[in-house]
Amino acid sequence: MDLELDGRVALVTGGGMGVGRAICRRLAAAGAVVAVNDIVAERAQSVTDEIRKAGGRAEPALFDITILEAVQDGVARIVESAGPIDILVNNAGVVPERRTGEIGLPTFIEMDPAFWAKIVGLNYTGVMNCVFATAPAMVERKSGRIISVISDAGRAGEARMAVYSGAKAAILGFSRAIAKELGPHGISVNTIALSAVAHENPIAGFQQLDATPENNETLRKVLRSYPLGQGLGRLARPDDAADAIAFLASERAAYITGQCLGVNGGFVMS
C-alpha cells in the first residue's frame, strides 16, 4: 500500500535505537526524509547510515528534547537542510530503570522527589517542547501529523512506575487537547500505546528478540496478560509500532485524530 510519504520530512525523537530506529527505517522506506533525533551521536549516525545504505534519505539530528532552546535550534537546522517538518513522531522516552541502570524500582513514596523531574522531563516535557517547536509552521501550511508513543502504564497505571505512568497519561490528555486546537488547521494528532516490547537492548531477558515461550519461562508467564501475544507466542516488536506510526503519518489516516491506538497484543483494551 502506497502511504504517500514521498518527500515528506519526518522528525523522529529517540530514533537511534529500539522502537525509534524501526520507525525511522519504516518512514524512510515509505519515502520520507527522516531526521533521526538522539542525544548520542553514534546512534543517530548509525541509523542514518543504515537508511542511506538502503536507498533512503536521512540525517542525524542531535539535540536534547528536554531543553526547549535546543529543540528549537535543532528544528531550525532540520528545516534549513531538509525542509519544513511534515511529521513529528514523539518517540523518545524511557522507563525509570533505563535512566538509573536499576531494575528494582521504589514505590512512589520511597522515590527521591529529585528524580521526578528527570522522568517527567524526558517523557512529557520533551513532547511539549517538540510540539511547540514544530506546530506553528504546520499551522501556517495547514498540514501536519503529530504522533506520540505512550505506554499502557499511562492508560492503566503500573505499580512502582507511578511518575512514569503519570507522564505517559499526560501525553494522552495533551494530545487529545491539541488535536482539538490543531484540527481546524488540517493537522492530526494521535498516539500509539505500547506495553512490553521485545527489542535489541533489553534489561529483562524475556524482552530479548529471540525469547520464546518455549525457551523463556518468564515470557510464557508474562504472555498470560497478552491475549494476542499468547496466540502469536511473542511480545510486540519495534516493527509493530513502526507500522502503526507509518499508517497514522500517511494519507490513509487523513480523517483520524485524537485517537490512541493500542499496539499491545490486547494487554489493555479500549
Say whether 164 is catalytic: yes
Radius of gyration for the chain, computed over Cα atoms and rounded to the nearest angstrom: 18
- Measured between alpha carbons, how far is 262 from 240 in angstroms, rounded to an integer? 11
Strands of the sheet containing 87-90, edge to edge, are 57-62, 33-38, 9-12, 87-90, 144-151, 187-194, 260-263
Which residue in this structure is represented by grid cell 520464546? Answer: 212
The cell for 171 is 501525553
- Measured between alpha carbons, how far is 225 from 93 in angstroms, rounded to an integer? 23
The cell for 97 is 530503570
Residue 174: what residue type? Answer: F
Residue 236: closest CA among 124, 151, 167, 154: 151
Residue 267: closest CA among 201, 179, 215, 197: 197
H or E element that contains 269: none
Instruction: Answer whether 105's CB lies under 8 Å from 164's CB.
Output: no
Query: 124, 164, 226, 255: which is the annotated catalytic residue?
Result: 164
Q: What number of residues does the chain have?
A: 270
- Measured between alpha carbons, how far is 268 from 270 in angstroms, rounded to an integer? 7
Give the 3-state secondary structure of residue 169. Answer: helix
Residues noted as catalytic: 164
